[in-house]
Structure 1
Amino acid sequence: MSGTGGSADKRPNEQLGSWFVRSGWSKGELARQVNRRARQIGAHHISTDTSRVRRWLDGEQPREPIPRILSELFSERFGCVVGVEDLGLRPVHQSPSVSGVDLPWAGPQTVSLLSEFSRSDLMLARRGFLGTSLALAAGPALIEPMQRWLTPLPTGGQPSQADGDRSRRSSRLSRPELELLEATAVMFRKWDAQCGGGLRRKAVVGQLHEVTDLLQENHSEASGKRLFTVAAELAELAGWMSYDIGMHPTAQKYFVLALHAAKEAGDRPLGSYILSSMSRQMIHLGRPDDALELIHLAQYGSQQSATPRTQAMLYAMEARAYANMGQPNKCHRAVRLAEDAFSDCARGDGDPDWIRFFSEAELNAENAHSYRDLAYVAGRSPTYAERATPYMRRAVELFAEEAEQEDGHTRSYALNLIGMATVHLLQREPEQSAQLAEKALPFAKRVRSERVNNRLRKTVDTAVRDFGDVPAVAQLHEQLMVQLPDSGEGAARAV
Structure 2
Amino acid sequence: MKWLVSASPMLVQTHSGRRVGSSLATELESRVVELRHLDDTVSSEELSPVISKELAETESLVRTASFTEPVGRRLFTAVGELSQLAGWVASDAGQYRQAQNFYLSGVAAANEAQDRVLGAQLLSSLSYQIANVGNPADAALLARTAVQGAQEATPVVRTLLLERVAWASAKTGDAEATWRVLDQVDDSYEQRGSVEPEWVYWLNRAEIDVMAGRCMIELGKPQEAEPLLSAAIATYPPEHAREVALYRSWLAESYARAGDFDAAREALEQARSYGSEMPSVRSNTRFEVVERLLSC
TM-score normalised to structure 2 length: 0.90
Matches within 5 A, 1:335-346: 335-346=182-193
Corresponding residue for residue 225 of structure 1: 73
Amino acid at match of 1:420: L
- 1:207 pairs with one of 29, 51, 54: 54
Corresponding residue for residue 230 of structure 2: 393
* Alignment of 1:354 onto 2:199: yes
Contact 1:225–1:264 (CA under 8 A) maintained in structure 2? yes
- Root-mean-square deviation over aligned CA pairs: 1.6
What SS class does the counterpart of residue 193 from structure 1 fall into?
Answer: coil
Q: What is the identity percentage for the equivalent residue pairs of Structure 1 and Structure 2?
A: 27
Q: 1:298/1:334 Cα in 2 relative to 1: closer, same or farther (>3 Å)?
A: same
Contact 1:309–1:345 (CA under 8 A) maintained in structure 2? yes
- 1:449 pairs with one of 280, 283, 289: 280
Contact 2:178–2:215 (CA under 8 A) maintained in structure 1? yes
Q: 2-side partners of 1:230 and 1:447: how far apart?
A: 27
How many residues are paired up? 280
Amino acid at match of 2:252: A
Contact 1:199–1:448 (CA under 8 A) maintained in structure 2? no
Amino acid at match of 1:368: G
Amino acid at match of 1:374: L
Displacement, 1:264? 0.8
Please identify which structure carries the higher helix content.
2
Displacement, 1:235? 1.1
Displacement, 1:170? 7.3
* Alignment of 1:411 onto 2:258: no
Contact 1:239–1:251 (CA under 8 A) maintained in structure 2? yes
Corresponding residue for residue 291 of structure 2: 460
Structure showing greater radius of gyration is 1
Corresponding residue for residue 211 of structure 2: 366
Contact 1:317–1:366 (CA under 8 A) maintained in structure 2? no
Q: 1:297/1:225 Cα in 2 relative to 1: closer, same or farther (>3 Å)?
A: same
Displacement, 1:258? 0.6
Corresponding residue for residue 10 of structure 2: none
* Alignment of 1:249 onto 2:94: no
Q: 1-side partners of 2:108 and 2:171: how far apart?
A: 28
Stretches of 4+ aligned residues off by more than 2 angstroms: 169-177
Q: 2-side partners of 1:339 and 1:199: how far apart?
A: 35
Amino acid at match of 2:33: V
Q: 1-side partners of 2:223 and 2:176: how far apart?
A: 16
- 1:176 pairs with one of 11, 20, 23: 23
Contact 1:195–1:410 (CA under 8 A) maintained in structure 2? no
Corresponding residue for residue 106 of structure 2: 258
- 2:252 pairs with one of 416, 421, 439: 421
Could you give the per-residue CA deviations for residues 321-378 of structure 1, whole angstroms, max 9, x where no partner exists? 11111111111111111011111113xx211111111111111111111111112xxx
Corresponding residue for residue 489 of structure 1: none
Displacement, 1:306? 0.7
In the alignment, structure 1 segments of 5+ residues that lack a partner are 1-168, 376-383, 467-495
TM-score normalised to structure 1 length: 0.55
What SS class does the counterpart of residue 218 from structure 1 fall into?
Answer: coil
Amino acid at match of 1:448: P
Corresponding residue for residue 70 of structure 1: none
* Alignment of 1:314 onto 2:161: yes
Displacement, 1:195? 2.1
Displacement, 1:175? 2.7
In the alignment, structure 2 segments of 5+ residues that lack a partner are 1-15
* Alignment of 1:326 onto 2:163: no
Corresponding residue for residue 279 of structure 1: 127
Contact 2:166–2:177 (CA under 8 A) maintained in structure 1? yes
Q: 1-side partners of 2:143 and 2:251: how far apart?
A: 26
